[in-house]
């Protein structure tokens, strides 16, 4: 079955689906293709995550009314199903379990974040413990420290990605 069976709306490569800072109360479910989640930090743009088919974004906007926290753009031709905020609220009135589905997804992401955060903090602690060793064997300690800092840096980047996808 071809394109005619795909639900949602088509976005072309690079097209913005959600703009950071803009108002919006919809949630999105990716039907085909991929999207890139990015965030502006001053003059630099940090890529936080790449999401694919079946994954959702913007689910927090169905619940709160804060401006969008990141920009989401299509990576190649992408089809995305929009979940309308007003219709969602109407449906939740008769089926509260729909809200539970959203909460479950948010809960999963928070758990993942908790897990990542605890690992990263653990590694930071290791770095701190390693600092007194520098005076004993400066060269070896420097190498160890460099490797640990690089690990922590990678973990922090991964954590940022996960935060972005929330």
Kindly list the residues in this chain that would bind other proteins in the complex (CB under 8 A). 1-9, 26-27, 29, 31-32, 54, 81-84, 86-88, 90-91, 94-95, 97-98, 101-102
Nearer to other proteins, 63 or 149 (CB): 63
Tokens of 116: 């990542």
Nearer to other proteins, 8 or 130 (CB): 8
Sign of torsion over alpha carbons 15, 42, 52, 104: negative
Least distance (Å) from other proteins to the CB of residue 80?
A: 8
Least distance (Å) from other proteins to the CB of residue 31?
A: 7
Least distance (Å) from other proteins to the CB of residue 97?
A: 6
Least distance (Å) from other proteins to the CB of residue 74?
A: 14
Tokens of 18: 């959600």
Nearer to other proteins, 9 or 115 (CB): 9
Distance CA 56, CA 79 (A): 12
* Residue (of 59, 5, 57, 13) closest to 33 by Cα position: 13
Nearer to other proteins, 79 or 123 (CB): 79
Q: Characterize 37-57 residue by residue with b for buried, 16 or more Cβ atoms within 10 angstroms of its Cβ, and e for exposed.
A: bbbeeeeeeeebbebeeeebb
């Amino acid at each position: 079955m071809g394109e005619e069976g795909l639900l949602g709306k088509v976005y072309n490569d690079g097209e913005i689906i959600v703009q950071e800072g803009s108002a919006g109360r919809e949630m999105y479910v990716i039907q085909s293709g991929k999207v890139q989640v990015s965030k502006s930090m001053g003059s630099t743009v940090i890529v936080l995550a790449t999401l694919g088919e079946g994954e959702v974004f913007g689910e927090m906007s169905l619940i709160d009314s804060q401006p969008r926290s990141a920009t989401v753009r299509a990576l190649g031709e992408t089809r995305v199903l929009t979940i309308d905020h007003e219709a969602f609220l109407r449906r939740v009135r008769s089926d509260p379990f729909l809200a539970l589905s959203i909460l479950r997804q948010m809960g999963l992401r928070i758990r993942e974040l908790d897990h990542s955060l605890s690992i990263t903090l653990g590694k930071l602690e290791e770095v701190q413990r390693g600092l007194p060793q520098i005076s004993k064997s400066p060269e070896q300690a420097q190498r160890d420290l460099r490797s640990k800092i690089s690990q922590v840096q990678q973990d922090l980047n991964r954590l940022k990605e996960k935060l972005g996808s929330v």
